Amino acid sequence: MLLGLLFGTSCKKFIAVEGAGDQLEQSQVFSNDATANNAVAGMYRYMRDFVYGSNSFAAYLALSSDDSYSYFSVPVWDEYANNTLQSNNGALPWQAPYNIIYQANGIVEGLKDNNKLSPAARDQYEGEAKLMRSYCYLFLVNLFGDVPLLTTTAVSINASAARTESAKVYALILSDLKDAQSLLKKDYAFSEGKKIRANYWVATALLARVYLYMGDWANSKVAAQEVIGSGQFSLLSELNDYAIENNQEALLQLANQVTERIWEPFVFAYGDIPVMPFRPGFIDSFEPNDQRRTKWVRMVTYEGGQYYLPYKYKLTVPGPERYTLLRLAEQYLIRAEANAHLGELTEAVDDLNVIRNRAGLPSLAVTISQDECLAAVAQERRMELFTEAGHRWFDLKRTGKLDGIMQLEKPSTWKSYAALFPIPISELQTNPALQQNPGY
């Protein structure tokens, strides 16, 4: 249960510290730059394991959408693939993001009125904590709807927190990201040039996504434009370099230890045994000669059948690949969608063609209608961002297409209420202030 995991039985406030082998009291963590830095690094590790670890929610959300299915019948996977999630499913994405939020809250609290750390370190850590908190709340509010808005480590407050309306959750997300922009530098010097810690551009890129989800096209365009026009990033010319450490397209990658492998190839397949292959409809959506199918999808033969699997991550042993959380291609697609809604169709098509041409596809005509342009945006987002942290599921929801597509894709199991996930039964049992989503 969340409260027991986060707070234990003690009234003292503890924060997980990378490399400490345990948890330290908040007063210990923020007594010097080294332990504070390790606490922030621990927050990134939580994020890595949550989104892309061995229980990857990137994979679970691919199952929930119309992209992937479960080849083997495993109850946890089947509930995602069939959109029949139960409130007692132990893999619901509730506890993990709230763990990160708790860590972020502890960091923000520990930095307040702190004179033991250098000013530059305080700014960096606070900016990173607020950015991670905003990412988790964006995830939660789009999966569960109204969720408890926790901004403290106080047990007396958190233990009985009710659900907060989504608009207020989004208000905190925006506030956190704007604070992060003001606190973080515009380079990666803090992480010795490696893109494994957040900076100003990471906050701005995530802000562009948030505005897009809110339907604030003008601000979404401004934020995406700033990232694209910064000159700090460029699209990869070689798609096979997608996950290479510190590549020029990446904005934020989640580091793994040098002895640790990337889990993604194992989550979707055991070698040539398909675990979560793509649905035929997804594979059929690729245009002829799309290099993303050639280089980011692999085919395996198993028990007489042919199956297609994600292949953005290539290695099954430790190597130079890193999990990619944010990258430049998404910013082009965000700006394209914003421009399409704003009626700036020529600019929207120009951005789409940048992504299409990189994939080896011909340019779209600039004479397409607004509806055709938005359809093209949806197509390019699907082919470009598949299996990346739930983009397809969130895109279907925010554009109002989820119900119609799921009725066609999964007619025997889909129910409209499944657009929101159930709150875990354990949380309802420990916090009477919480109420379950309709249908569960």
The DSSP output letter for 300 is E
Q: How does pLDDT run across 53-110, given as a tens digit for each residue?
A: 777 899 999 999 999 999 999 999 999 999 999 999 999 999 999 999 999 999 999 9
pTM across the whole model: 0.94
For residue 26, what pLDDT band results from cuts at 50, 70 and 90? low
State how far the Cα of 99 lies from the Cα of 95, in Å rounded to an integer: 6
Q: How does pLDDT run across 250-295, given as a tens digit for each residue?
A: 999 998 766 677 888 888 888 899 999 999 999 999 999 999 999 9
DSSP β-ladder status, 297-302 and 305-310:
antiparallel
* Token pair in block for residue 310: 């994600």
State how far the Cα of 304 lies from the Cα of 311, in Å rounded to an integer: 21
Task: Report the SS3 class of residue 401.
Answer: coil
Domains delineated in the chain: 1-55+91-184 (1.25.40.890)
Whether the pLDDT of residue 12 is over 80: the answer is no
Q: How many CB atoms lie within 10 A of CB 50?
A: 23
Q: How many residues does the chain have?
A: 440
Report the run of H or E that residue 209 belongs to, with start and end. helix 200-214
> Packing angle between helix 345-358 and helix 328-341, nearest 10 degrees?
150
**Strands, DSSP E only, in 76-169?**
none
Contact 273, 302 (CB under 8 A): yes
Q: How does pLDDT run across 290-318, given as a tens digit for each residue?
A: 999 999 999 999 999 999 999 999 987 88
Tokens 């025997």 -> residue:
412
Report the run of H or E that residue 430 belongs to, with start and end. helix 425-430
Output b/e per residue, 198-221; b: 16+ Cβ within 10 A.
Answer: bbbbbbbbbbbbbbbbbebbebbb
Whether the pLDDT of residue 27 is over 70: the answer is no
